[in-house]
Amino acid sequence: MKSIVSTIALGLFALISPVSAEIKGAEVKVISVEADIVETAVAAGSFKTLAAALGAADLVEALKGEGPFTVFAPTDEAFAKLPKGTVEELLKPENKGKLADILTYHVVSGKVMAEKAVTLDKATALNKKEITLKVVDGTLTLNGRAKVATADIVCSNGVIHVIDTVILPPAK
Give the Cα separation of 62 and 58 in Å (integer): 8
pLDDT tens per residue, range 108-153: 999 999 999 999 999 999 999 999 999 999 999 999 999 999 999 9
Give the Cα separation of 40 and 100 in Å (integer): 20
Give the bridge partners for 132, in sequence order: 122
Give the pLDDT of residue 171: 81
Residue 21 near residue 30, CB atoms below 8 Å:
yes
User: Cα 136 to chain center, whole Å?
Assistant: 19
Tell me whether residue 5 is in a domain: no
Give the pLDDT of residue 15: 31
Domain that holds residue 46: 10-163
Confidence (pTM): 0.80
Give the pLDDT of residue 26: 28
Count of structural domains within the chain: 1
- What CATH number has the domain bearing residue 27? 2.30.180.10
